[in-house]
Chain A
Amino acid sequence: EAGVTQSPTHLIKTRGQQATLRCSPISGHTSVYWYQQALGLGLQFLLWYDEGEERNRGNFPPRFSGRQFPNYSSELNVNALELEDSALYLCASSRRGDRNTEAFFGQGTRLTVV
C-alpha cells in the first residue's frame, strides 16, 4: 500500500511569487492535514480538509489556502511568498471519524523563498 506522497520534494521560489504544493493521501483516507515546520519553530497546523471541505484552519494569513479534490488529494497554495515562508511543509492523512486515529505523514516539501 502506497503511503502519503507529496510533490515536489524541493521548491525554490522568489519573494512575491506563488507556490503550489501537492499531496496524495493513503488510499481510503478522506482527511488531509497540512503543517508547516519552520526552522526552530516545531510543527504548526495549517489546514484540515475532509470530504472536499475545509474543516479547520490554523493561525495563518489568508494567503495560505488550499483545496481537496474528489479523489481526496489536496493542494496547498501560498500566495505572495515571503522569506519567512521558507519551511518544510508536511502533509498527513487519516481516516475520518475518529480524531484519535493516527495520521500518516508524507516526506514533505521543502520550500525555499529567496
Chain B
Amino acid sequence: AQKITQTQPGMFVQEKEAVTLDCTYDTSDPSYGLFWYKQPSSGEMIFLIYQGSYDQQNATEGRYSLNFQKARKSANLVISASQLGDSAMYFCASPWGSQGNLIFGKGTKLSVKP
C-alpha cells in the first residue's frame, strides 16, 4: 500500500538558518508526484512545492527546495534562511495510486526561534 512517512514530529531551527524536513514514500507506481504543504495555526493548507518522479532536476520555489533521491525514495524539503513566519506544520503528500486524492504524512511541526 502507498505510504508517506515523516519521521520528525517536531523540529527547531534558529532564525536565518536552513532546515531540512524529511519525507520518505513507498509506492509501486512508476509515475508519481510529491507535494509539500504548510499548515499555519490558522488551519489552511498552503501549497509549497511539487516534484515529479520523472523531473530531471530537484524542484525549487523561492526559499523552498526539494532534495529528491529517487533510489532512496525520499523527498526532503529544505527551507533556507528560516523566518519566524515559517513556524507551522509541514506535510508531505502524494497522489493515491491512480486517484486524484492525496495521502499525507503525519507532518512535522517546525518552530523557528528568534
- Chain-B contact segment, one of A11-19, A63-71, A78-86, A95-103: A95-103
Asked whether A48 lies within 8 Å of B99 as measured between CB atoms, the reply is yes
Interface secondary structure of A, over-half rule: strand
Report the Cα distance A56→B104, complex, angstroms: 16
Task: Say whether A52 faces chain B, with CB atoms less than 8 Å apart.
Answer: no
Report the Cα distance A108→B50, complex, angstroms: 22
- Chain-A contact segment, one of B14-22, B40-48, B71-79, B80-88: B40-48
Measuring CB to CB, which residues of chain B are less than 8 angstroms from any residue of chain A?
A: 31-33, 35, 37, 42-47, 50, 52, 91, 93, 95-96, 98-107
Residue of B nearest to A48 (CB): B101
B71 → chain A, closest Cβ, in Å?
20
What residues on A are CB-neighbors of B101 within 8 Å?
A: 33, 45, 48, 56, 58
Asked whether B96 lies within 8 Å of A45 as measured between CB atoms, the reply is yes
Residue of A nearest to B50 (CB): A102
A104-B47 contact given A43-B91, A99-B99, CB 8 Å threshold = yes
What residues on B are CB-neighbors of A50 within 8 Å?
A: 100
Q: How many Cβ-Cβ contacts under 8 Å join chain A to chain B?
A: 66
**Which one, B32, B46, B100, contacts A56 given CB within 8 A?**
B100
Identify which of B33, B44, B91, B93 gathers the most chain A CB atoms within 10 Å of its CB.
B44
Asked whether A100 lies within 8 Å of B52 as measured between CB atoms, the reply is yes
Report the Cα distance A20→B99, complex, angstroms: 25
Report the Cα distance A110→B44, complex, angstroms: 11
What residues on B are CB-neighbors of A104 within 8 Å?
A: 47
Asked whether A100 lies within 8 Å of B32 as measured between CB atoms, the reply is yes
A100-B44 contact given A42-B106, A55-B99, CB 8 Å threshold = no
What residues on B are CB-neighbors of A106 within 8 Å?
A: 44
Report the Cα distance A92→B33, complex, angstroms: 17
B42 → chain A, closest Cβ, in Å?
7
What residues on A are CB-neighbors of B47 within 8 Å?
A: 102-105
What residues on B are CB-neighbors of A55 within 8 Å?
A: 99-100
Asked whether B45 lies within 8 Å of A92 as measured between CB atoms, the reply is yes
The 3 closest A-B pairs by CB, nearest first: A100-B33, A105-B45, A43-B104
